[in-house]
């Protein structure tokens, strides 16, 4: 109505349409004889977002956050797993195998996808158990996604990890740019992803964005990484008061609560290009050892008893950063974490107790 008035009025109307990572914003400039005014019409239209590997630890929560922001139908969750009824009822879900380039192409075209959030991967401990599959999923799959993003001019997010560092890297703190040389196939594939993404950005202008996450803690089942103990301990300790930890008590690793992790992803995806000095950033919130986590948990579960039996994951953890330096992310696009160890533990205790233990459920 207002627009119609403006169009038929005495002022001249100029419609400006800007492309912002596939997101269209329309601004109408109305010039009257006395003044010049700017009107935004109909808000910014939402990007259409495809999440690959969406039924893992991060995917469903990420879809919830983005659907809350952009609307249910703007976010398509995908994986190769048969979804639960709850997933199907919560918004669009489709089958997408990242090893099938044509299949991915069809999805991007049919759904007019603007952003890909590429979560599919085999994590560190699982990757060591099946190296050829990890090479296929983590490297060949990534090639498909990057090439597709280039062809269709998509904004693409690929998470990297503290596992992209190795025994030659400085561990406390680990800066954004330093020696990497990881010793797991997971880490090697993530360094490859970082480098090929940066290369496509410089060579073809691909809008590649990558955050190196620390261990992410949430009540959803983790996918077989080295930091999984920091999720499992809540379930075991609240159920039985006991936990056997596969890392030594003094193994310090960087960690983050899932809300911080996904907020960092969203803030980074919407950060203006000109603020990004680089395409790959470290982000973190805290660092702790199993012993420090147990001490904090003991405030909620005084009877807790934890024993330690290190396995093959100890060697992986010993080659990873202990403290992650994320000052570049804080400086360039304003990253700030909200959850420290104390807050994280009380939230996790409440969540796991109310939503799982009291209902007789587990997260696996």
Residue whose CB is less far from ligand NAD, 81 or 179: 81
Binders of ligand NAD among residues 19 to 48 (CB under 6 A) are: none
CA quadruple 95, 193, 156, 72: dihedral, nearest 10: 40
Could you give the CA distance from residue 142 to residue 266 in angstroms, rounded to a whole number? 20
The answer to whether 121 contacts ligand NAD (rule: CB under 6 A) is yes
Binders of ligand NAD among residues 196 to 255 (CB under 6 A) are: 213, 215-216, 222-223, 225, 227
- Taking the complex as a whole, the smallest distance from the CB of residue 101 to ligand NAD amounts, in Å, to 12
Residue whose CB is less far from ligand NAD, 6 or 219: 219
- Taking the complex as a whole, the smallest distance from the CB of residue 235 to ligand NAD amounts, in Å, to 16
Q: Which two tokens stand for residue 118?
A: 């590429």
Closest CA relative to residue 156, chosen from 208, 192, 97, 191: 208
Q: Which two tokens stand for residue 238?
A: 């609240």
Of 12-20, 117-125, 172-180, 200-208, the window that binds ligand NAD (rule: CB under 6 A) is 117-125
The answer to whether 80 contacts ligand NAD (rule: CB under 6 A) is yes
The answer to whether 290 contacts ligand NAD (rule: CB under 6 A) is no
Could you give the CA distance from residue 161 to residue 178 in angstroms, rounded to a whole number? 14
- Taking the complex as a whole, the smallest distance from the CB of residue 26 to ligand NAD amounts, in Å, to 34
**By three-state DSSP, how is residue 58 classified?**
coil
Q: Which two tokens stand for residue 282?
A: 């470290």
- Taking the complex as a whole, the smallest distance from the CB of residue 272 to ligand NAD amounts, in Å, to 24
Angstrom distances, CA of residue 47 to CA of 21, 74, 77, 97, 254:
8, 7, 14, 22, 32
Angstrom distances, CA of residue 220 to CA of 50, 53, 189:
20, 14, 24
Distance, CA of 142 to chain centre:
15
Residue whose CB is less far from ligand NAD, 48 or 190: 190
Residue whose CB is less far from ligand NAD, 52 or 282: 52
H helices present in 152-287, as ranges: 185-204, 229-240, 258-269
The answer to whether 57 contacts ligand NAD (rule: CB under 6 A) is yes
The answer to whether 144 contacts ligand NAD (rule: CB under 6 A) is no
> For tokens 């205790």, what's the residue?
349
**By three-state DSSP, how is residue 202 classified?**
helix
Angstrom distances, CA of residue 339 to CA of 114, 216, 228, 356:
31, 12, 18, 22
The answer to whether 161 contacts ligand NAD (rule: CB under 6 A) is yes
Of 47, 83, 127, 159, which lies in the binding site for ligand NAD, with binding defined by CB under 6 A? 159
CA quadruple 101, 105, 111, 113: dihedral, nearest 10: 90
Could you give the CA distance from residue 176 to residue 129 in angstroms, rounded to a whole number? 29
- Which residues does the annotation mark as catalytic? 186
The answer to whether 79 contacts ligand NAD (rule: CB under 6 A) is yes
Q: Total binding residues for ligand NAD by CB under 6 A?
A: 29
- Taking the complex as a whole, the smallest distance from the CB of residue 293 to ligand NAD amounts, in Å, to 15
- Taking the complex as a whole, the smallest distance from the CB of residue 294 to ligand NAD amounts, in Å, to 20
The answer to whether 189 contacts ligand NAD (rule: CB under 6 A) is no
Of 1-9, 74-82, 195-203, 324-332, the window that binds ligand NAD (rule: CB under 6 A) is 74-82
Of 12-20, 28-36, 96-104, 331-339, the window that binds ligand NAD (rule: CB under 6 A) is 96-104
Could you give the CA distance from residue 294 to residue 305 in angstroms, rounded to a whole number? 9
Residue whose CB is less far from ligand NAD, 57 or 169: 57
Could you give the CA distance from residue 174 to residue 245 in angstroms, rounded to a whole number? 25
153 close to 90: Cβ distance less than 8 angstroms: no
Q: Are strands 286-288 and 253-257 parallel, antiparallel or unpaired?
A: antiparallel
- Taking the complex as a whole, the smallest distance from the CB of residue 281 to ligand NAD amounts, in Å, to 13
The answer to whether 81 contacts ligand NAD (rule: CB under 6 A) is yes
Contact positions vs ligand NAD (CB under 6 A) = 52-53, 55-59, 79-81, 96-99, 119-121, 123, 137, 141, 159, 161, 213, 215-216, 222-223, 225, 227
């Amino acid at each position: 109505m207002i627009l119609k008035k403006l169009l038929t009025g005495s002022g001249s109307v100029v419609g400006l349409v800007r492309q912002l990572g596939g997101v269209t914003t329309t601004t109408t400039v109305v010039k009257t004889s006395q003044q010049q005014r700017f009107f935004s019409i109909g808000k910014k239209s939402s990007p259409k977002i495809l999440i690959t590997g969406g039924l893992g630890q991060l995917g469903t929560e990420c879809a919830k956050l983005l659907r809350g922001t952009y609307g249910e139908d703007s976010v398509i969750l995908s994986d190769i797993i048969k979804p639960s009824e709850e997933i199907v009822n919560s918004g669009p879900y489709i089958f997408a195998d990242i090893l099938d380039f044509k299949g991915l192409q069809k999805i991007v075209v049919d759904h007019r996808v603007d952003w890909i959030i590429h979560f599919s991967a085999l994590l560190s401990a699982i990757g060591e158990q099946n190296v050829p599959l990890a090479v296929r999923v983590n490297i060949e799959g990534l090639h498909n996604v990057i090439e597709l993003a280039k062809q269709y001019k998509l904004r693409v997010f690929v998470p990297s990890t503290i596992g992209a560092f190795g025994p030659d890297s400085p561990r406390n703190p680990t800066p954004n740019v330093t020696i990497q040389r990881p010793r797991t196939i997971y880490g090697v594939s993530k360094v490859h992803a970082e480098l090929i993404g940066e290369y496509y950005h410089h060579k073809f202008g691909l809008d590649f964005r990558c955050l190196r996450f620390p261990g992410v803690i949430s009540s959803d089942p983790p996918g077989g990484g080295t930091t999984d103990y920091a999720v499992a301990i809540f379930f075991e300790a609240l159920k039985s008061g006991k936990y056997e930890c596969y890392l030594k008590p003094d193994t310090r690793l960087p960690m983050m609560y899932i809300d911080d992790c996904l907020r960092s992803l969203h803030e980074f995806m919407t950060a203006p290009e000109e603020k990004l000095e680089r395409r790959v950033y470290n982000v973190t919130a805290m660092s702790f050892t199993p012993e420090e986590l147990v001490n904090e948990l003991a405030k909620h579960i005084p009877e807790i008893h934890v024993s330690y039996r290190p396995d093959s994951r100890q060697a992986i953890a010993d080659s990873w950063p202990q403290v992650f330096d994320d000052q570049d992310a804080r400086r360039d696009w304003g990253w700030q974490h909200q959850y420290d160890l104390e807050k994280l533990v009380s939230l996790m205790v409440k969540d796991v107790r109310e939503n799982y233990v009291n209902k007789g459920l587990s997260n696996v």
